[in-house]
């Protein structure tokens, strides 16, 4: 199970994250995402737990809990988008611009 953890204190490191989750079972990996330029934590990370039940228990117990004065947001990670792309496109078109107002006008 891949778990997304947000609102992490900037002082926490990968080992701290691993330790927090290991109280609930086996942790395969724990990684805090860092800014490429500064090397500073971006405040979120991912934890891999091979056992679904242990991962679910960790999410339930840690979501909303306070660590280092910050309230964690913990939930199952969404699959990575293909080609590293974000959520672009889709949805209806035609809003914005001058006088567009975002409505589909039919006469």
Give the domain ranges of the chain. Answer: 2-78
Per-residue pLDDT averaged across 47-76, rounded?
Answer: 97
Q: Class for domain 2-78, per CATH?
A: alpha beta
Q: Rg (Cα) of the chain, in Å, rounded?
A: 19
| C-alpha span between 21 and 14 (Å, rounded) | 11
Query: 3-state class of 73 per DSSP?
Result: strand
Cβ pair 58, 18 in contact under 8 A: no
Annotate 32-69 with DSSP letters as a single string.
EEE-TTT--EEEEEEEE-S-HHHHHHHHHHHTT-EETT
Cβ pair 3, 40 in contact under 8 A: no
* pLDDT tens-digit readout, 11-45: 999 999 999 999 999 999 999 999 999 999 999 99
Q: Which carries the bigger pLDDT value, residue 106 or residue 75? A: 75
Per-residue pLDDT averaged across 66-93, rounded?
Answer: 76
């Amino acid at each position: 199970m891949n778990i997304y953890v947000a609102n992490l204190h900037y002082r926490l490191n990968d080992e701290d994250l691993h330790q927090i989750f290991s109280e609930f079972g086996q942790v395969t990996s724990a990684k805090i995402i860092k800014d490429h330029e500064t090397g500073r934590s971006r405040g979120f990370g991912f934890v891999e737990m091979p056992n679904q039940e242990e991962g679910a228990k960790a999410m339930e117990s840690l979501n909303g809990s306070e660590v280092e004065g910050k309230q964690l947001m913990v939930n199952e990670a969404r699959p990575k988008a293909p080609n590293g792309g974000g959520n672009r496109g889709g949805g209806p078109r035609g809003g914005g611009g001058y006088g567009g107002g975002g409505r589909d006008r039919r006469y």
